[in-house]
Amino acid sequence: MAFVSNKPLYLFHMDLCGSMRVQSINGKRYVLVVVDDYSRYTWVFFLHSKEEASDVIISFIKKTQVNLQLQVQRVRTDNGTEFKNKILAKFFDEVGITQQFSATRTPQQNGVMERRNRTLVEAARTMLAFANLSLFLWAEAIAITYFTQNRLIIHKRFDKTPYELMNKRKPNI
């Protein structure tokens, strides 16, 4: 599955993390992470349950396509039931999105996701530990992490941040 996207939104990587041991301050236990293959721009959604994932994904794709005036072509996920279901299959078929599944028990097939998840979680844990904050603030720490990384990490291929590649302008930081 070695493939390099040539424009934003061509390929989205998605993964659902959880259930978290500690509920967030807002009662969430899951994190849906979406990464644009081209820019490595990351979106994060906090969910109460896995069952929310399909509706969140559909809404996110519709809004993002309208806002950026681009069409999502492919979505790459694992075989979790939150991704492999009739609701998403029907939506993807209706809008012309190809859904790609990694082989069971081979997270390395979606290495982009695995690296992003590891980076988000490690940074969030470090923030909470350094500031001596309670674990129920994990969602806030992850939100700060992805916001910051979108604006500060330089994409080697383009010498620009994910924010610049997605929004065609430098972030206001």
pLDDT confidence band for 61 (50 / 70 / 90):
very high
Q: What is the Cα–Cα distance from 33 to 31, expressed in whole angstroms? A: 6
Tracing tokens 């259930």 back to the chain, one arrives at 19
Contact 102, 78 (CB under 8 A): yes
Which structural domains are found in the chain, ordered by start? 11-167 (3.30.420.10)
Encode pLDDT of 105-163 as tens digits. Answer: 777 777 889 899 999 989 999 999 999 999 999 999 999 999 999 999 999 899 999 99
Three-class secondary structure assignment of 113-148: HHHHHHHHHHHHHHHHHHCCCCHHHHHHHHHHHHHH
Number of residues that make up the chain = 173
- Identify the pLDDT of residue 2: 55
DSSP summary character for residue 40: -
If 0-12 CB within 10 Å is exposed, 13-18 middle and 19+ buried, where does residue 96 land?
exposed
- Which pTM value belongs to this model? 0.95
All residues at 6 or more sequence positions from 138 whose CB lies less than 8 Å from its CB, including other chains: 20, 22, 24, 124, 128
Residues paired with 17 in a beta bridge: 31
Encode pLDDT of 72-107 as tens digits. Answer: 999 999 999 999 999 999 999 999 999 999 987 777
Instruction: Please determine, for residue 1, whether its predicted confidence score (pLDDT) is greater than 70.
Output: no
> In terms of Cα–Cα distance, which of 165, 5, 37 is closest to 110?
37
Contact 140, 120 (CB under 8 A): no
